[in-house]
Structure 1
Amino acid sequence: MAIQTLKKLFSRDLAKLRTEITSYNQESNIWRIEKNIANSGGNLCLHLVGNLNTYIGKELGGTDYVRDRPAEFALKDVPREKLLSMIDNTIKVVDSALDKVSENDLKEQFPILVFEEMTSIEYMLIHLATHLTYHLGQVNYHRRLID
């Protein structure tokens, strides 16, 4: 039951990320930063896609994804359509990877060290879901402030 709930939450929030990126009136504003705003909506989008493709797609789903975390914050002016395509692909990757995780697997150790100590798959998936919603809120606020 937890896996199905997580699948719905990831799908819901990635769809909302897609809506946020689509909702910028001016595409250039996706990348705009001002004053004390450190990250643009576009960079937060790239970060979320990279994060989920790494920790769910690669580590749990067995994809060959190679993350370039510095690029997630350094790249600029990636076309909106490319971002949307990346989000759509991430939705599929996350859904497919979570299909490979059983309820019993949740108590197992996550395959790699991410924090100061090893965690369970369940802990990591809940962390990733809250990480997604945290940055999704930032994207929403960025769009409303900048655009």
Structure 2
Amino acid sequence: MLIETLTTLFGRDLQKLKEELELYRHEENIWRVDKEILNSAGNLCLHLIGNLNTYIGAELGGTNYVRNRPEEFSKKHVPRVELVAQIEQTIATLETSLASLSEDRLRDNYPLQVLSGIVSTEYFLVHLAMHLSYHLGQVNYHRRMLDC
């Protein structure tokens, strides 16, 4: 049950992330920063892609994804079409990876210690969904404030 719910929520919010990027009237504004807004929508998008592909795709789904976290925040001017393609690939990876999990695996400890202590896989997946939602809100705010 939880796996289906998480698959739906991750898919919904990643689809919304694609829509947010597509709503920018000026593609270059995806990479814009300002005094109080230090992360561009593009970098937040790369961060979410890296985060989900690492902690769900590679760790739980066994993909060969290798994360370069510093690049998620330093890389600039990736074309919108490429960001959208990476989001679509992430959606597919999450669907496959989550479908491979059993309810017993959800109750097991998450294989990596990422947060302040050991947590269950179930707990960490909910954390990742909330992390996605948090940054999705930032992208929405970024677009409305800086895509003038």
Give TM class, smaller chain.
over 0.9
Aligned counterparts of 2:116 and 2:126: Cα–Cα separation in 1: 17
Query: Which residue pairs with 1:30 in the alignment?
Result: 30
Aligned counterparts of 2:54 and 2:119: Cα–Cα separation in 1: 16
The 5-angstrom pairing of residues 10-89 of structure 1 reads 10-89=10-89
Aligned counterparts of 1:120 and 1:8: Cα–Cα separation in 2: 20
The 5-angstrom pairing of residues 61-140 of structure 1 reads 61-140=61-140
Give the TM-score, by structure 1 length. Answer: 0.99
SS in 2 for 1:140: helix
Which digits, 9 at most, give the CA deviation of each residue in 1:61-107, with x for residues without a partner? 00010000000000010000000000000000001000111122111
Aligned counterparts of 2:118 and 2:78: Cα–Cα separation in 1: 35
Aligned counterparts of 1:71 and 1:112: Cα–Cα separation in 2: 22
Quote how far apart the aligned CAs of 1:116 are. Answer: 2.2
Q: Identity across aligned pairs (percent)? A: 57
Number of residue pairs the alignment of both structures matches: 147
List structure 1 segments (4+ residues) > 6 angstroms apart after TM superposition.
none
Q: CA RMSD in A?
A: 0.6
Q: Structure 1 unaligned runs (5+)? A: none
Q: Which deviates the most, 113-122 or 13-22?
A: 113-122
